[in-house]
Amino acid sequence: MIDRGPYRGRFAPSPTGPLHAGSLVSALASFLDARAHGGSWIVRIEDVDAPRTVPGAADEILATLAHFGMHSDEPPVWQSERDAAYSAAFVRLQAAGFVYPCGCTRREIADSLVHAHARHATLAYPGTCRDGLHGKPARAWRLRVPDGDAAVVTFDDRWQGVQTQDLATEVGDFALKRADGLWAYQLAVVVDDADAGITHVVRGADLLDSTARQIYLQQCLEAPTPAYLHVPVINNDAGEKLSKQTGAAPLDRHAPLDALVQAARHLGIAVSSPAASLDTFYGAATAEWAKRFPR
Ligand code: GLU
């Protein structure tokens, strides 16, 4: 393994389908940032959400990344193999009094939110089960967020600038373990990033809204907070984020350069098109990225 210095970045696709132009943008941005900083780039397969996982999609994603010249510097991490780590973090949070069981159904939460909305309140989980289950069986497990000023999380995103979210009013106590028994994305991501020593998170701006939750969870677990950079997502003609659900076409494995040049363009990186080879593409794109994001 090459020692690539202290920077550790990652690309964390959910294997719900093949890579498409939208996920390529996140993959490329995270890869260029790692290379521009002389760091390591690690792929993590986010298959914690088993019902959404499509058999074979993870291997297909890894094969496509390889065709596109992006190879994980360490063996890919699979969330489906990390149950013990999530459990241990959950037990720690529970022992510290941060976690409580919630017996609300989706329907009950939606109803109470509609009610709250009518009173011009915000759409955060209203904390119904904070003080007990009211005779209902436990379904999910939630992290108690602080009240007042302590709930305000601020971070300086390297692309998007300073971001602020009030966890109490904008999010509410959020699930760590879901009603279907699965670990929630927020818990898995924070534990994975901490265990892998990730110093820089580069991903799509659709996840900007999750970042304050993740930073708060890092604080509860006494884990370091990485630097964040959220790249603009690609929308389809209807203005929806490009995804498998909105009909994004899989990437053509055999024409990587065109797709890479386009993804780079979306990131504001001008690479003369057509680049002669993957090597010349990555050389030029990394140099451009390094100029733009020197820190
Ligand atoms: N698995 C998430 C996705 O594919 C990305 C999570 C992350 O980068 O933190 O949207």
What's the CATH code of the domain at 117? 3.90.800.10
Share of the chain above pLDDT 70, in %: 94
Q: Examine the domain organization and report whether 202 and 64 are in the same domain.
A: yes
Q: Does residue 186 belong to any structural domain of this protein?
A: no
Q: Does residue 184 belong to any structural domain of this protein?
A: no
- Flag the least confident range among 15-29, 49-63, 121-135: 121-135
Mutate to test the pocket of ligand 1, among 187, 203, 209, 211 (most ligand atoms within 8 A of CB): 203
| Structure confidence at residue 271 (pLDDT) | 84
Whether residue 76 is preceded by a cis peptide bond, meaning omega within 30 degrees of 0, is no
52 is in an annotated binding site: no
Q: Examine the domain organization and report whether 88 and 170 are in the same domain.
A: yes
Instruction: Report the mean per-residue pLDDT for the chain.
Output: 92
Q: Does residue 270 belong to any structural domain of this protein?
A: yes
Among candidate residues 177, 211, 243, the one where a domain is terminated = 177
| Structure confidence at residue 142 (pLDDT) | 97
Q: Which domain holds residue 155?
A: 84-177
Is the Cβ–Cβ distance between 151 and 171 less than 8 Å? no
Q: Examine the domain organization and report whether 110 and 73 are in the same domain.
A: no
CA-closest residue to ligand 1 atom 5? 12
- For the cut 70, the answer to whether the pLDDT of residue 73 exceeds it is yes
- For the cut 90, the answer to whether the pLDDT of residue 117 exceeds it is no
Q: Does residue 3 belong to any structural domain of this protein?
A: no
Nearest atom in ligand 1 to 189's CA: 9
Q: Examine the domain organization and report whether 122 and 63 are in the same domain.
A: no
Residues with CB under 6 A from ligand 1: 12-14, 46, 189, 203, 207
Q: Examine the domain organization and report whether 231 and 282 are in the same domain.
A: yes
Q: Whole-model pTM?
A: 0.93
Render pLDDT for 190-249 as a digit per residue (tens, 0 to 9).
Answer: 999 999 999 999 999 999 999 999 999 999 999 999 999 999 998 887 888 888 777 788
CA Rg value for the chain = 20
Ligand 1 centroid distance, CA of 219 (Å) = 20
86 is in an annotated binding site: no
| Structure confidence at residue 1 (pLDDT) | 46
Q: Examine the domain organization and report whether 241 and 285 are in the same domain.
A: yes
Give how many domains the chain has, as a whole number: 2
Among candidate residues 177, 210, 243, the one where a domain is terminated = 177
Q: Examine the domain organization and report whether 56 and 36 are in the same domain.
A: yes
Q: Examine the domain organization and report whether 253 and 274 are in the same domain.
A: yes
* Residue 221 backbone dihedrals phi, psi, to 5 degrees: -95, 5
